[in-house]
Amino acid sequence: MPVKRAGLSWMVLCTVWVAPEVSAENCRLSLSQPRVDYGAIRREAPADSATLALSTRVLHVNVLCAEPAAMAIRFVGVAADGQGFKFGRHGRFRLSLKHAQLDGHAVGWVAAHLPGEPAGGQLLPGQTLMARLAGMPMVGRQLTAQVDIDTELPAGALEVRSETHLEGQGSFELISPAVPPSQ
């Protein structure tokens, strides 16, 4: 049973690498850019808060299927907590799916394990989001969505004596009847 993955790697001197395209049987999942770079991050003044939020980065995910399929997306990475994925030792990043369309129709998201409740688009650790319209899973050939990446670090993460790389890793998976989940 094939699963599609497009990988992400993060580094601070902050760079995100993304596999630009992944294929399996009926569908192809691709991301808009192979690299998101935060560049070197320096703190010039003492921290005003316990965390430092890096600017939101945006990618676009596209799924194209030869035959109509129900579509669900998950992100597999190391959980920082129930609300995000690990970035460096103590930081985290969050992923949100926005402006989703399936075959040109605006769709929302529902958590696969809670099919009756809207999910709001945030990809949480261990959660699969299914495209839905009027509360029902929707079948189609082309899914597009914006992926917002919000990263935060503890203020102390910038208190280093030499160049330091912070990383977080994970991959997007497309899950559908044509592309079932891996176990």
DSSP 45-71: S--SSSEEEPPPEEEEEEEEEEEEEE-
Joined tokens for residue 79: 């959980």
Residue 10 clears pLDDT 50, i.e. is over it? no
pTM: 0.79
pLDDT at 51 over 90: no
Region of poorest pLDDT, from 9-23, 52-66, 116-130, 131-145: 9-23
- Res. 117 pLDDT band, cuts 50 70 90: low
At 121-178, the pLDDT tens digits run 898 998 889 888 877 778 899 999 999 999 888 877 767 667 777 777 788 888 865 4
Token pair listed for 107: 């769709």
Residue 144's pLDDT is: 96
pLDDT, position 148: 94
- For 14, 48, 66, 90, the CA distances from 168, given in Å and listed in that order, are 10, 25, 33, 11
User: What is the pLDDT averaged over residues 36-64?
Assistant: 77
Confidence of residue 98 (pLDDT cuts 50, 70, 90): very high
Instruction: Write down all domains in the chain, each with its CATH number in brackets.
Output: 4-175 (2.60.40.1090)
